[in-house]
Amino acid sequence: MELLNLPYHAVRPHLGRDLSVEELVETYLERIRRTDEVVRAYLTVTADLARAQARRWDARIRRGEELPPLVGFPVALKDNLCTRGVRTTCGSRILENFVPPYDATAVRRLVEAGAVVLGKTNLDEFAMGSSTEHSAFFPTRNPWNPEYVPGGSSGGSAAAVAVRSALGALGSDTGGSIRLPAALCGVVGLKPTYGRVSRYGLVAYASSLDQIGPIARDVRDCALLLQAISGKDPMDSTSVEVPVPDYASSLRPEVRGLRIGLPREAFGEGLHPAVQEAVLRAVRVLEREGAEVEEVRLPTLEYALPAYYLIACAEVSSNLARYDGVAYGYRSPRAGDLYTLYARTRAEGFGPEAKRRIMLGTFALSAGYYEGFYRKAQQVRTLVRRDFERCFERVDLLATPVCPTPGFRMGERLEDPLQMYLVDIYTLPVNLAGLPAISIPCGFWEGLPLGLQLIGRPFDEGTVLRAAYTYEQATGGSPKAPPLVEGAR
Amino acid sequence: MTEYEVAIGLEIHVQLQTESKMFCGCSTRFGAPPNTQTCPTCLGLPGALPVINRKAVDLGLRTALALHCTVHPKSQFHRKNYYYPDLPKNYQISQYQYLDHPPLATDGYLEIEVEGTLRRVGIRRVHLEEDTGRLLHPEGADYTLVDYNRSGVPLMEIVTDPDLRSPQEARAFLLKLRQILQYAEVSSGRMEEGTLRCDANVSLRRPGEPLGTRTEVKNMNSIRAVERALQYEIERQRALLQRGEAVIQETRHWDERSGVTFASRTKEEAEDYRYFPEPDLVPLEITPAWIDRVRAELPELPDARRDRLMRVYGFGRYEAEILTATRFQADFFEEAVRLHPSPRAIANWLVGDVAGYLNEHNLELEDLPITPLHLAELVRLIEEGVISGRIAKDILPEVLGTGRRPSEVVRERGLLQISDEEALREVVRAVLAEHPEPVQDFRKGKERAIGFLVGQVMKRTGGRANPALVNRLLREELERLPA
């Protein structure tokens, strides 16, 4: 258990000395076997691939070759990231047997940086959901309490990192899908600035909001993973040519003079008192470390949710149109003519949440409704972005809760989409504005982890990470492990 | 009978001459085995993303400049959403016109000449988009196959205002546009091969009234077909209106064989494409420097080429116009002249016998297996007295049909011109002896009789006699004959 509890930056010095990559990877594969029956974080375990990659790194270590920064880092990948030769399901029946012929750029960069791929993790279908209950295959459970959801949609990735069945992971975040499960599972998750990480090979949910990001045990590992996947990619026109700083080596516990804003609108009605208390306590820690805290305003915050669902669903209705049973993916065995091929394939291939959003988005884009819905939502999006810009004229970071409530039980919100959508109220405005934000553990309520969100200026992931690191160091280092560790060695 | 005014607007799709596709690096080469020029992006695989082909934008800008359009400094791509198996993403990346998201270029014009008068046709928009795949229906099969090689090939759409007043004007417009596209090296512009496609909106109205209800005519595979289809459709609408019936707004397909248009969609309502800005692409920013570069690189356009040919070679406007009708022909002509500087003779052959041959065989100059060298050589052989013009005409079909060099054909067929004076004099004497009547006629002053005699000499020599020499010898021998 000792090894499993170490973050990568603490494991790294052992590699090539008293630990081989293969031993490290075997330890994690064993951990998957022991925990995944309960947690069900993985959709696919790539044990052979991981072992082969591990042996290659060990050989290079033995030969004394120069090693990349993440050599031997055992990672899990959310199953909406394309992996060459490894099926990529997106948690959907419609892609149940889809094997991509190419790697996502972020995956390729991570592997080139030395990471070893343990497998593909569970998610809400096409990353649409906040609990991982909308996976077509099975729900993932929260390692802190299997009665509870791990959050979503990157629930598999966050749960795996929390339960030590992966040392780190990649997720994707469209409205909070990295930050929410990171918060509910008690790990660190970062959504980068829109354009910081290439989306090439990320199966699109909402293209203008999606961003790939790391989920890790602590802030330093998070910085290392972010470092590896960031940067302009010629294959993604929306990735941006901004230099990638050395996030990990510039981490220091130093926030003196940093101005942190608390948006008044984020601490109002609907916020669970335990969450409010934990977040404010965390902010006070940063204040003690020298940060200056002041109240700011985000007056359009309440309009962000409807705007988000209109824009995201509009894009979904188009992005998911390609799953038609023609060239790849599921095809209904009852398909007859062209119309029934489309209708039956999609009726049988998509789950209820995907259908709900496709219909919502189709409606929002329809003639006569475009102006009132889609365009209006884009206007709101502009206002939300300006709200944030105004805040960042006065402060360097914003601090908010990640989720208005502590974790919720399996099934609790499944039948009520609106209640489910509301858990993203603090995270999705950040996607509308394209900003970087981190979720770090900031305490517990009845044994369930709670999360603090720190939001930064565009491409200022460095400051976000530094503040998170300062908090982490001031409160005793890496977050603790969930109790679900019996049977682990 | 009521007089109606015709309003025709054209929607033209042009396949751009780029090496790679609109949004990925796949080759655009035509005729490759099915699905060999594809990648995750043009197959619409999950997670693949488009990247704009800058060369395609260059070609769009060339067209925009040639058509006097306003180029928008920031234009946007959109998704046009509809389901069809040749469209792998079930949306086409195209450009739609929203005020805040304009297409590449708008508000231009093209001037055409019809029956001596100049007409200015408004160009509403020029935009870029991607082509679809191709459906293949194997004979007798109960399934359809899809070839995605064409999926993502760059297309440019050009939309005119409803300014064309007759099928003839539509034809003149298409000819002129095609000529410009070819000269600007934007597209091969061949309707028969689908690199240029044209749909037409047509309506009738009484003069002074607003535009009438239009129909959209599709499926025309040649410029001639456009003209015919429009003629048919105008007469159909005229008949409806004269009977007091209404024209229904609909899409109609042209049937080349039966020469009629027929309604092709039963659905009355317009399809809703749910356009919205393509979130996978950032707005396309066209800087003044980009436009300047494209302007500087713009190849010589047809009118400029025509004027230069008039200036440099002294051709009349009409001749120069014919020579420059296609970029290929103008290039062919100038290259031949470079190889053998007899512009007048080369031009005569090109627009005379070569054009006649093409007409007869329903071919285009570019279909022939010959190079400018062939024509240059033919003219040189005549001018050097190696063959007569008559022989040249005789061997032309073989040269054009096989691509063999004229000198080779001449040598092989033993057609070298006879310039041996003594040998020819024998023939001339024999001809004069056999034809006393024309000889008499000539003496009576009938100059024309000499033509007959020349013909006879040619006949005897299989056309190989040097005509100038024959003429001189005939006159000499006629002088010598006893009265």
Note the helical H segments in B340-415: 343-349, 355-361, 372-383, 389-402, 406-412
Q: How do residues A442-470 score in pLDDT, each as one tens digit?
A: 999 999 999 999 999 999 999 999 999 99
A485: pLDDT strictly greater than 60: no
A204 DSSP assignment = P
Residue of B nearest to A101 (CA): B40
Q: How would you list the strands of the sheet with B276-277, edge to edge?
A: B91-94, B78-81, B276-277
pLDDT of residue B356: 93
Q: What is the DSSP string of A354-386?
A: HHHHHHHHHHHHSTTTTIIIIIHHHHHHHHHHH
pTM: 0.88
What is the spatial distance between Cα A274 and Cα A444, in angstroms, rounded to a whole number? 9
Residue B28 tokens, joined: 């655009």
In terms of DSSP bridges, do strands B74-75 and B284-285 run parallel, antiparallel, or are they unpaired?
antiparallel
- Residue in B83, B88, B282 nearest the CB of A327: B88
User: Residue A480 catalytic?
Assistant: no
Contact B12, B165 (CB under 8 A): no
In this predicted structure, what is the pLDDT of residue A489?
Answer: 32
Q: Which residues of A touch B146 (CB under 8 A)?
A: 326-327
CB A263 within 8 A of CB A395: no
Q: What is the rounded average pLDDT for all residues in chain A?
A: 95
User: Which tokens hold the place of A3?
Assistant: 């090894």
Pairing of strands A259-263, A292-296: parallel
Cα(A459)–Cα(A242) distance, rounded to whole angstroms? 8
Nearest Cα of chain A lies from the Cα of B83 at a distance, in angstroms, of: 8
What is the helix (H) or strand (E) element at residue A333, kind and residue range? none
Digit-coded pLDDT (tens) for B102-135 = 999 999 999 998 888 899 999 999 999 999 999 9
Which of A94, A235, A323 has the highest number of chain B CBs within 10 A, making it the mutation to test binding with B? A235
Q: How many angstroms separate the CA atoms of A264 and A399, rounded?
A: 10
DSSP for A229-277? HBS--TT-TTS-------TTTT--S--TT-EEEEEGGGGSTT--HHHHH
Test A100 with B45 for CB contact under 8 angstroms.
yes
Q: To 10 degrees, what angle do helices A21-39 and A47-62 make?
A: 160
Q: Where are the domains of chain A?
A: 2-265+272-296+402-474, 301-385
* A2-265+272-296+402-474 belongs to CATH 3.90.1300.10: yes
- C-alpha B200: how far from chain center: 19
Residue A331, token pair as written in the block: 């095809």
Q: Quick one: pLDDT at residue B1?
A: 55
Within 10 angstroms of residue A264's Cβ, the number of other Cβ atoms is 13
A176 versus B453: which is more confidently predicted? A176
Catalytic residue check, A191: no
CB contact under 8 A, A238 and B47: no
Are A367 and B272 an interchain contact pair (Cβ–Cβ within 8 Å)?
Answer: yes
Q: Which pLDDT score is estimated for A488?
A: 39
CA B374 to chain centre: 22
CA distance A124 to chain B (A): 16
Contact flag B90-A208 (C-beta cutoff 8 Å): no
- Closest partner residue to A321 (CB to CB) among B47, B91, B276 is B91
What does the alpha-carbon distance between residue A100 and residue A118 come to, in Å, rounded to a whole number? Answer: 17
User: Is A321–B83 a contact, with Cβ atoms under 8 angstroms apart?
Assistant: yes
Q: What are phi and psi of B76, to 5 degrees?
A: -125, 145
Of A135, A153, A317, A478, catalytic: A153
DSSP letters, B129-197, are: EE---EEE--TT-SS-EEEGGGTT-EEEEEEE-S-B-SHHHHHHHHHHHHHHHHHTTS----GGGTSEE
User: Around Cβ B168, how many Cβ atoms within 10 Å?
Assistant: 14
pLDDT at A360: 96
Distance between CA atoms of B48 and B280, rounded to whole angstroms? 10
Rounded distance, CA A466 to CA B271, Å? 53
pLDDT above 60: residue A402: yes
User: Would you call B46 and A88 a contact, using CB atoms and an 8 Å cutoff?
Assistant: yes
Percent above pLDDT 70 for chain A: 99
Q: Where are the domains of chain B?
A: 5-291, 302-412, 421-480
Residues of B with CB under 8 A from a CB of A: 40, 43-52, 79, 81, 83, 85, 88-91, 146, 148, 272, 274-276, 279-282
Residue A377: CB atoms within 10 A of its CB come to 22
- Under-50 pLDDT residues of chain B: 268
CA angle B309, B311, B315 (to 5 degrees): 60
Write out the CATH class of domain B421-480: mainly alpha
Residue A30 pLDDT class (50, 70, 90 cuts): very high
Residues of chain B positioned with their CB less than 8 A from the CB of A237: 49-52, 280-282
Print burial letters for B339-359: b (CB count within 10 Å at least 16), e (below 16): bbebbebbbebbbebbeebee
Q: Which of A204, A314, A370 sits opposite B47 (nearest CB)?
A: A204
Nearest partner of A174 among A313, A54, A267, judged by Cα: A313
Which of B43, B49, B282 should one mutate to test binding to chain A, selecting the residue with the greatest count of A CBs within 10 A? B49
Query: For residue A374, which residues of chain B lie inside 8 Å, CB to CB?
Result: 276
| Contact assignment for A321 to B90 by CB distance below 8 Å | yes
CB contact under 8 A, B274 and A326: no
Q: Name the token pair of A290.
A: 């020298």
CB contact under 8 A, B45 and A206: no
DSSP category for residue A293: E
Residues A173/A175/A181/A182 CA torsion (nearest 10 deg): 60
pLDDT, tens digit, 9 for 90 and up, residues B133-144: 999 999 999 889
Considering chain B, what is the average pLDDT of its residues? 91
Cβ neighbours around A350 below 10 Å, total: 22
Answer yes or no: do B46 and A100 touch at CB < 8 A. yes
Pair of tokens at residue B183: 């000269």
Residue type at A485 in one-letter notation:
V
d(CA B341, CA B312): 12
Preceding peptide of A130 cis, ω within 30°? no
**Residues 6+ away with beta carbon under 8 Å from B105:** B60, B61, B63, B64, B67, B69, B70, B71, B72, B125, B126, B127
CA angle A204, A196, A289 (to 5 degrees): 125
Strand order in the sheet with B117-130: B70-71, B105-114, B117-130, B154-160, B5-15, B196-205, B215-220, B251-255, B260-263
Nearest to A237 among B81, B83, B282 (CB): B282
**Residues for chain A: how many in total?**
489
B79 closest CB neighbour out of A80, A236, A318: A318
With 0-12 / 13-18 / 19 or more C-beta atoms within 10 angstroms meaning exposed / middle / buried, residue B311 is: exposed
Contacting residues of A for B90, CB less than 8 Å apart? 321-322, 324
CA distance B5 to B25: 47
| Mean pLDDT score, A355-373 | 94
Residue with tokens 């027929």: B262
Question: Can you give the pLDDT at residue B339?
Answer: 95
Average pLDDT over residues A121-148: 97
The answer to whether B77 touches B93, Cβ cutoff 8 Å, is yes
How would DSSP label each residue in B224-240? HHHHHHHHHHHHHHHHH
Residues of A with Cβ-Cβ distance to B43 under 8 angstroms? 327
Q: What is the mean pLDDT of residues A64-75?
A: 97
**Two structure tokens written together for A203:** 């199966």
Q: In Å, how far from its chain's centre is CA B174?
A: 9
What ipTM was estimated for this complex? 0.95
* Burial of residue A428 (number of CB atoms within 10 Å: 0-12, 13-18, 19+): buried
Is B323 within 8 Å of B347 (Cβ atoms)?
Answer: yes
Judge residue A59's burial from the number of C-beta atoms within 10 Å of its C-beta, 0-12 exposed, 13-18 middle, 19 or more buried.
exposed
Q: Is A318 a catalytic residue?
A: no
Sign of CA dihedral B126, B127, B128, B134: negative
Q: How many other CB atoms are found less than 10 A from the CB of residue B301?
A: 17
Neighbouring residues of B327: CB distance < 8 A, sequence distance ≥ 6: B179, B182, B183, B185, B302
Beta carbons within 10 angstroms of residue A2's beta carbon: 6
Among the listed residues A130, A135, A172, A177, the single catalytic one is A177
Which candidate from B44, B51, B146 shows the least CB-CB separation from A322?
B44
Provide the token pair at A27: 């330890």
Judge whether B277 and B101 are in contact, CB under 8 Å: yes
Burial class, B161, CB count within 10 angstroms (exposed 0-12 / middle 13-18 / buried 19+): middle
* Out of A201, A234, A238, closest to residue B47 by CB: A201
Tokens for A38, please give them. Answer: 């309960």
